[in-house]
Amino acid sequence: MSFKNKTALVTGGAGFIGSHVVDRLLQEGAEKVTIFDNFIGGQFNNIKHLIGNPRVQLIVGDVRDFDAVKPLVQESDFIFHEAASKLVASLKNPRIDLGTNIIGTFNILEASRDSDARIVQISTGSVFGSSDKPMNEEHVKNPTTLYGISKLTGEKYGLFYAKEFGVKASVLRYFHVFGPRQDYHGEAGVINIFLSKILNGKAPIINSGGEQIRCFTYVSDDVDATLLLAQKKEAIGQAYNVASKTRMSINELAKIIIDKYADKPITPEQGDTRQGENLKPIPDTTKIEKLGWKEKVSFEEGLENTKKWIEQDMKDTGNSF
């Protein structure tokens, strides 16, 4: 199975990861890719290079709107459900978090009941909580945030619809993704935030003590996994973890970026403890590796790519920290 001459829907397609999925689908020969985004989290700059492309359709809409979602689902061969209310946003507006991550996911699945489309439903490592040992897909789920709760609920809907209604859905859990197009002004995306601070000669702020471990994964490797699941029949009705083998603390990350890119000595500042912070959300990725996925981009290469993108974006937009 390939994407040549196929139609695809990418919800959240103007977002950080979603826009990279759109680009890859076009590279893989998709005949038509529909970007569906409400532009709350998505950015026009992420897709401006696609405007005017006859193979791209941009629709401004919200996954909470079933009437908007249904016809798009039913005309698509592949659906990549990237739209989500992110972790930080869930604290500020739990109702939007619930509506987007649960109702929005339900709408995609319900619209697919009389469709033959393949669905890759994006979830998160936040469904697990923390563990001293790597967590495989069946590890007990103990989310510590509203975001983790809503994403876990969405997962359960997806796997139920696959088992009971024959919807061709797979669940993919991302962990600590970074790369070009990730917002460096927000409260999530620690690599991009640290890079932009340090490139502007400012101290990064380390929250929750900095001993929390992260497994930073470059965005193109997550895109590889996303498209892989869409093409594997055996992935239907299954959940997968995807993450790099790079494991480091936030304190270690700050030191690496300062040592590599700072023009002057910089000492990180200590910030607040974040609600629900997971100290060791470390996955076991054996299952997706058996399916054929492997990490291709090293942390060092990804970091350099991201740094160059941030420098160019700050130059183009006049943005700085």
Q: Report how far residue 211's alpha carbon sits from residue 280's, in angstroms, rounded to the nearest whole number.
A: 9
> 303: Cβ–Cβ under 8 A, 6 or more apart, which residues?
191, 195, 256, 257, 260
Give residue for tokens 């101290």.
203
* C-alpha pair distances (Å), 284 with each of 136, 207, 223, 299: 5, 26, 18, 18
> 47: Cβ–Cβ under 8 A, 6 or more apart, which residues?
13, 14, 19, 22, 35, 56, 58
Residue of 147, 174, 184, 218 marked active site:
147
DSSP string for 206-259: E-TTS--EE--EEHHHHHHHHHHHHH-GGGTT-EEEE--S--EEHHHHHHHHHH
Q: Does the annotation mark 147 as catalytic?
A: yes
Judge whether 189 and 87 are in contact, CB under 8 Å: no
Judge whether 213 and 163 are in contact, CB under 8 Å: no
* C-alpha pair distances (Å), 50 with each of 44, 129, 313: 10, 37, 17
Give residue for tokens 């979603």.
18
- Residues catalogued as catalytic: 147
